[in-house]
């Protein structure tokens, strides 16, 4: 038979990173700075807790919203780290990665025809998520002049006052931009004024550098009631493959998300929940060590790009930096060129939407030796072609 | 503070160039150079060595961990015995430890025969040494904080979201 694909599925183009992935796979000497996940293993204590839970046969479903004990730990953790106060019984849901939580939110709050404003460049899953839910995307570009922070002017210019929802992600994938409290205040005011629901993806919250503290928009006045916060264990706790994330929000919203979750996922992976519990309980030092190491690499990569003569945005969060490609290249051409000629994989900024063109996403979730070699190769490429 | 950062980087990889260390710490290259010189002069940094996985070489290299028990008399202290033992080039590490024995000594040689001979002919005869227990190293899994073997395959997708 031929499959009559749903319009929604047909509308979404194939992922822009797939082509680069395919070229990279053709050769075996590639140093990849194209990865969006930690190069560290999950802290041992968390892995050990996962193993122990398996040995004890803890392999059944948990409560739909996640183990009560884990939700309590999450509540304590977000209160402690980010001044976020949520009730573990009603206002927290544990999901299979932040990815699932984001998807649940789109499905719970987007009606066909609803408009979702997305601050771009943005993580590549938001736009398809909105489309799968039947909504329409309004892209709100951010620019390097504004340090890739979302501004009210940007929102106004894009017409976001008409939108139903706004998606934020700070620290940002792909730019590494952060937003301070002062940056967030006017955005919050705009959201209140225009009655926007805010979906705030804060999965990189722990990875904030240069003495900056992560601020959640949900902590600002009048925002808790209109914000869903996403976080998870993939990045700071190096648990990508364990697939564990969570959403925080008012009971009504979390209940709606849980309604979908209980029919589609039932509950997040049990083994991963045990690992996560331990990660929150005892892996603070491991997180700190990884963050320090990312910071060191960040300094290294930023300063190397400057030496090479490529303009690079001073990223202050996540594990990406976002240099500009030299004149005469599009980001695609540059990325394909360094991959084919020098065996270095990076992702062109265009795939992350408006505001990303002319830039590259360079991940430093890779050991220093490889970073050193990769930057030497990029330098050679730039010298050959300029 | 910067001293500590520089030390950590040198311990991680003593071959990082001063330029690399400067990039990673945000210090000037000249500051890094001075810091390292000062650390060397103060005897904090005592040397730079490679971490070797001998099992990867054809050449045999034999290592042993030796427990030593000593009895002290009025004239001889631990430091005297330590000084005497530390002079032997075969001794790679020597530590006074608490517990069931007094010294913990690492010895290296080209063959089991050579190591045994060294212990029986040079170490055991030291009058204060009452007992030696030799443990030959069969396989080493981690040295100086570095895991040996081939466990570092990166199985992540080369490009991912
Ligand atoms: C901004 C952002 N949100 C969510 C995710 C997905 O996280 P998870 O592994 O928890 O599904 C990623 C992964 O790259 C991300 O970069």
Q: What is the pLDDT of residues A356-384, one digit of tens each?
A: 999 999 999 999 999 999 999 999 999 99
Judge if A7-42+285-385 and A57-282 fold alike in CATH terms. no
- Check residue B152 and give its pLDDT: 62
Across the interface, whether the CB atoms of B161 and A345 are under 8 A apart is answered no
Q: pLDDT tens digits, residue range B11-42?
A: 999 999 999 999 999 999 999 999 999 999 99
Give whole-number Cα distances, A340 to A23, A143, A170, in Å.
8, 29, 32
Chain segment B78-92, per-residue pLDDT in tens: 999 999 999 999 999
Report, as an integer, the average pLDDT of A258-286. 98
Say which CATH architecture domain B1-42 belongs to. Orthogonal Bundle (1.10)
A303/B158 Cβ within 8 A: no
Stretch(es) of chain B classified as CATH 1.10.10.10: 1-42
pLDDT of residue A25: 87
User: A363 in ligand 1 pocket by Cβ < 6 Å?
Assistant: no
The whole-angstrom distance between A225's CA and the closest CA on chain B is: 30
ipTM above 0.85, yes or no: no
Q: Which of A123, A177, A202, A261 to mutate for ligand 1's pocket (most ligand atoms within 8 Å of CB)?
A: A123
Residue A229 confidence (pLDDT) above 70: yes
**Ligand 1 neighbour A129 (Cβ under 6 A):** no
Average pLDDT, chain B: 93
Q: pLDDT tens digits, residue range A286-345?
A: 999 999 999 999 999 999 999 999 999 999 999 999 999 999 999 999 999 999 999 999
DSSP chain B: -HHHHHHHHHHH-TT--HHHHHHHH---HHHHHHHHHHHHHTTSS--------GGGSSS--EEEEEEEEE---SS--HHHHHHHHHTSTTEEEEEE-SSSSSEEEEEEESSHHHHHHHIIIIITTSTTEEEEEEEE----SEETTEE-SSTT---S-SB--
Which atom of ligand 1 lies at the shortest distance from residue A96's CA?
Answer: 11
pTM comes to 0.92
Q: Among A39, A125, A179, which residue has the most ligand 1 atoms within 8 Å of its CB, making it the best to mutate? A: A125
Closest CA of chain B from A165, distance in Å: 23
Domain spanning A57-282: CATH 3.40.640.10: yes
CATH 3.30.70.920 spans which residues of chain B? 60-138
Whole-number Cα distances in Å, A20 to A35, A126, A340, A344: 11, 20, 10, 11
The pLDDT assigned to A19 comes to 86
Residue B155 confidence (pLDDT) = 83
Q: Could you tell me the residue ranges of all domains in chain A?
A: 7-42+285-385, 57-282
Q: What is the pLDDT of residues B51-108, one digit of tens each?
A: 999 888 888 899 999 999 999 988 899 999 999 999 999 999 999 999 999 999 999 9
The verdict on domain B60-138 having CATH code 3.40.50.2300 is no
A7-42+285-385 has CATH 3.90.1150.10 classification: yes
Q: What are the residues of chain A with a beta carbon less than 8 Å away from any beta carbon of chain B?
A: 15, 17, 20-21, 24-25, 30, 32, 34-37, 39, 123-125, 173, 296-297, 299-300, 303-304, 345, 347, 368-369, 372
Instruction: Report the atom number in ligand 1 closest to the C-alpha of A244.
Output: 10
pLDDT tens digits for A142-174? Answer: 999 999 999 999 999 999 999 999 999 999 999
pLDDT of res. A16:
83
CB contact under 8 A, A345 and B157: no
Provide the number of CB pairs (under 8 Å) joining chain A to chain B: 58
**CA B19 – CA B32 distance, rounded (Å):** 8
CB-CB neighbors (< 8 A) of A15 in chain B = 161
């Amino acid at each position: 038979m031929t499959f009559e694909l749903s319009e929604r599925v047909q509308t979404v183009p194939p992922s822009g990173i797939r082509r680069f992935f395919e070229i990279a796979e053709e050769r075996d000497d590639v140093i990849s700075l194209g990865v969006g996940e930690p190069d560290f293993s999950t802290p041992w204590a968390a892995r050990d807790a996962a193993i122990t839970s398996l040995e004890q046969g803890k392999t059944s479903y948990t409560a739909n919203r996640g183990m009560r004990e884990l939700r309590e730990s999450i509540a304590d953790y977000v209160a402690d780290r980010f001044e976020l106060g949520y009730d573990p019984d009603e206002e927290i849901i544990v999901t299979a990665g932040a990815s699932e939580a984001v998807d649940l939110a789109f499905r719970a709050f987007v009606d066909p025809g609803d408009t979702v404003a997305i601050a771009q460049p943005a993580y590549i899953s938001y736009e398809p998520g909105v489309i799968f839910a039947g909504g329409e995307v309004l892209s709100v570009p951010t620019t390097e002049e504004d340090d890739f922070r979302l501004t009210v002017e940007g929102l106004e210019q894009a017409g976001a006052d008409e939108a139903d929802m706004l998606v934020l992600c700070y620290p940002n994938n792909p730019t590494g931009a952060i937003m301070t409290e002062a940056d967030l205040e006017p955005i919050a005011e705009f959201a209140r004024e225009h009655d926007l629901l805010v979906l705030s993806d804060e999965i990189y919250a722990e990875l904030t550098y240069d003495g900056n503290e992560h601020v959640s928009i949900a902590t600002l006045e009048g925002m808790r009631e209109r914000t869903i916060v996403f976080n998870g264990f993939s990045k700071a706790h190096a648990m990508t493959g364990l697939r564990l994330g969570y959403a925080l929000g008012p009971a009504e919203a979390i209940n709606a998300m849980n309604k979908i979750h209980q029919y589609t996922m039932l509950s997040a992976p049990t083994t991963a929940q045990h690992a996560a519990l331990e990660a929150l309980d005892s892996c603070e030092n491991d997180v700190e060590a990884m963050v320090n190491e990312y910071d060191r690499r960040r300094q290294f990569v930023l300063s190397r790009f400057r030496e090479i003569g490529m303009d690079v945005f001073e990223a202050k969060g996540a594990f990406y930096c976002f240099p500009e490609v030299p004149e005469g290249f599009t980001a695609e051409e540059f990325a394909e060129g360094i991959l084919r000629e020098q065996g270095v994989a990076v992702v062109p900024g265009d795939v992350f939407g408006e505001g990303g063109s002319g830039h590259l996403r360079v991940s430093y979730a890779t050991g220093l030796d490889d970073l050193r070699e990769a930057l030497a190769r990029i330098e050679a490429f730039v010298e050959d072609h300029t | 503070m910067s001293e500590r950062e520089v030390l950590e980087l040198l311990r991680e990889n003593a071959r990082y160039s001063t330029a690399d260390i400067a990039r990673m710490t945000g210090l000037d290259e000249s500051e890094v150079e001075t810091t390292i010189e000062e650390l060397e002069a103060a005897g904090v940094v005592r040397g730079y060595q490679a971490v070797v996985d001998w099992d990867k070489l054809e050449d045999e290299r034999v290592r042993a961990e030796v427990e030593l028990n000593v009895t002290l008399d009025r004239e001889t202290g631990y430091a005297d015995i330590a000084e005497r033992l530390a002079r032997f080039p075969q001794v790679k590490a020597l530590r006074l430890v608490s517990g069931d024995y007094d010294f913990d000594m690492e010895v290296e040689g080209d063959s089991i025969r050579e190591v045994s001979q060294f212990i029986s002919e040079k170490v055991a005869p030291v009058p204060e040494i009452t007992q030696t227990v030799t443990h030959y190293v069969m396989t080493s899994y981690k040295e100086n904080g570095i895991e040996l073997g081939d466990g570092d395959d990166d199985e992540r997708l080369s490009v991912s979201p």
